[in-house]
Amino acid sequence: MCGIIGYLGPGDGISLSLRGLERLEYRGYDSAGLAAWQKGKIVCQKTKGQVKILRQKILSLPESKSHLVIAHNRWATHGEPSKINAHPQSDCSRKIFLVHNGVIENYQSLKKWLKERGHSFFSQTDTEVIAHLIEENYQGNLLEAVQKTLPLLSGAYGLAVISESEPERLVVAKKGSPLVIGVCQKGEYIVASDPVAIIEHTRKIIYLDDEEIGVLSPQGVRITNSSNSLVKKEAQSVEWDLAKIEKEGFPHFMLKEIFKQPETIKNALRGRVNKKQGKVKLGGLKDWLSFIANCPRAVFLACGTSWHAGLIGKYYFENLVGLPANAEYASEFRYSQQPIDPQVAYFVISQSGETADTLASLRKIKKHGGHVFGLINVVGSTIAREADAGVYIHAGPEIGVASTKAFTSQVTLLSILALSLVQEKKLWPLSEMKKSLIALEQIPQQVEEVLKNAKRIKSLAKKYYQFQNALYLGREYNFPVALEGALKLKEISYIHAEGYPAAEIKHGPIALIDQNMPTFVVATNPDDLVYQKVITNIEEIKARGGNILAVANSGDKVIENLANQVILVPQTLDFLSPIINIIPWQLWSYYVAVQRGCDVDKPRNLAKSVTVE
């Protein structure tokens, strides 16, 4: 949440920063701002709204270029989205400017103290106190002032700071929020919350760790830790290809990412599945596999869509491996009294690898001697670096605020993880393992087939988009699919939707059913134990005048006769079915939102990478 970009070098820092802000818009888009050193002064432009508005305002700056720039996309935490609350924030003298991602929890007491010392505040933000504290500590050296300020802050920050008196310096600091430095050439650097804002200029990235401070100058990058000792850091090479962060002809990132799933699922499988030998391997966890296979219990920790994947992981561990497992919201777990057990295998699942609650849970577990394993998308992210071990889902950059391809890759990887444990514990005959791996390898092709239904789903969306509430139902492996379908719909089209285990409707939600409340049901795998039960639930809804839109397997005449509309998908093994069954709901949510005129890639009040609590 919130995107930071900064530039120091001989090039055109302003246009580069604006471009960077556009790439970071998935992190926040309620306001934007930029501060640049020009002709001996720092000039600042801010606006409520998106970067495109800021771009217009920048035209009024005295010059079009600058060698030293900081800029920001905001996702409001303290203070409404407005020009005043937009970053950069500055001190009383308007000589020190900074951009911040995170939350300063003790800002009220600091503000009171600073006011008593005569500082005047302009915004309602927590960030502004940092600028005034740096002013308070400034004695001609920006680095020293920042070093004195940081210990006074509690909370999280990614920071980039500049001073009018030091035109050759950009000071950056990180604690809890991500910050990376792109090295273009000696004396030319770009700072950003995410490498996506940098990689069109350089692939060489330095990842800052918590409590590190970096000073960028024409002489180079100097990084120190909280004890002011020099930290030697090598730039790492980021392999992402530029096309992955472009829309590639799709109208929205979300649609592109939905359509890329055959490829991203293949990437999750690559090198991990050998169907001929009937073997799976997960290199990143190989040293821990025996520990996990023999642990008494596993816990999956995540938020939002990643938590839905974790819930599927729970079913995998219990049903396939016979290992008791829980999926817990990281935001609850971090404050729970649950004792940390060093025998338990804790898994953190995160697309961004930066989600504040998931990271806090990881740190809590490690602090109390537990072992944590990551299933992460963003290579080099904080959670990926801090986990004891882990595997990458290799979905590539996910820019659409609504997570789609990360979910299917997470579930794919969870299935491989469960199968690795089955293999480690020698639970299945080779023939059964081979059967599962053949099915797993067919998934990308089957997803491709579902995507061919996009036109029909679009036309259904045109017919149904005006409903105000929706119920999503599924059972067992497809209960998390119901939760995820409902989440997708509500976050991008603002329609109230709830996901339920199908049999639970009789315990309350069935009271809501009438012709205006559509029910979306997953009823695949007719041989499955729970299929017949779902059919009964559909009958109950029909009997009360409800409308049913079902995802079912091709050739299922029972559902075709029962439901008002059916979206057919290819059949796979029951445990792999969520990877296929979620695709129609992703497309459905997308087309409903577009039909309702919603900004799919920038849904209101949301932002990707939730780095604040």
Residues forming the site for ligand F6R (CB under 6 A): 303-306, 350-352, 355, 358, 402-403, 487, 491, 609-610
- Per-residue DSSP letter, 15: H
CA distances, 360 to each of 225, 315, 389, 514, 611 (Å): 21, 25, 17, 43, 11
Residue 266: active-site member = no
25 touches 51 (CB < 8 A): yes
**Nearer residue to ligand F6R within complex by CB, 401 or 433:** 401
Task: Write down the least CB distance from residue 240 to ligand F6R, Å.
Answer: 17
Classify residue 400 by burial, with Cβ atoms within 10 Å: 0-12, 13-18, 19+.
buried
**Nearer residue to ligand F6R within complex by CB, 88 or 578:** 578
Task: Write down the least CB distance from residue 298 to ligand F6R, Å.
Answer: 18
Provide the β-strand partners of residue 519.
471, 548
348 touches 372 (CB < 8 A): yes
Strand spans (E) along 403-478: 469-474
**Which residue number is nearest to ligand F6R in terms of Cβ?**
304
Question: 2, 44, 295, 598: which one is catalytic?
Answer: 2
**Nearer residue to ligand F6R within complex by CB, 193 or 423:** 193
- Per-residue DSSP letter, 320: I
Neighbours of 240 (CB within 10 A): 15
Neighbours of 598 (CB within 10 A): 18
Task: Write down the least CB distance from residue 488 to ligand F6R, Å.
Answer: 7
Task: Write down the least CB distance from residue 1 to ligand F6R, Å.
Answer: 9
CA distances, 568 to each of 153, 365, 613 (Å): 55, 43, 40
**Nearer residue to ligand F6R within complex by CB, 293 or 311:** 311
SS3 state of residue 227: coil
Neighbours of 496 (CB within 10 A): 13
**Nearer residue to ligand F6R within complex by CB, 149 or 350:** 350
- Per-residue DSSP letter, 104: B
Task: Write down the least CB distance from residue 375 to ligand F6R, Å.
Answer: 10
**Nearer residue to ligand F6R within complex by CB, 264 or 553:** 264
What is the helix (H) or strand (E) element at residue 254, kind and residue range? Answer: helix 253-259
Residue 2: active-site member = yes
SS3 state of residue 253: helix
**Crossing angle (nearest 10°) for helices 107-116 and 128-137:** 50
**Nearer residue to ligand F6R within complex by CB, 306 or 415:** 306
Cα gap 544→43, rounded to integer Å: 64
| Residue positions annotated with a catalytic role | 2, 608
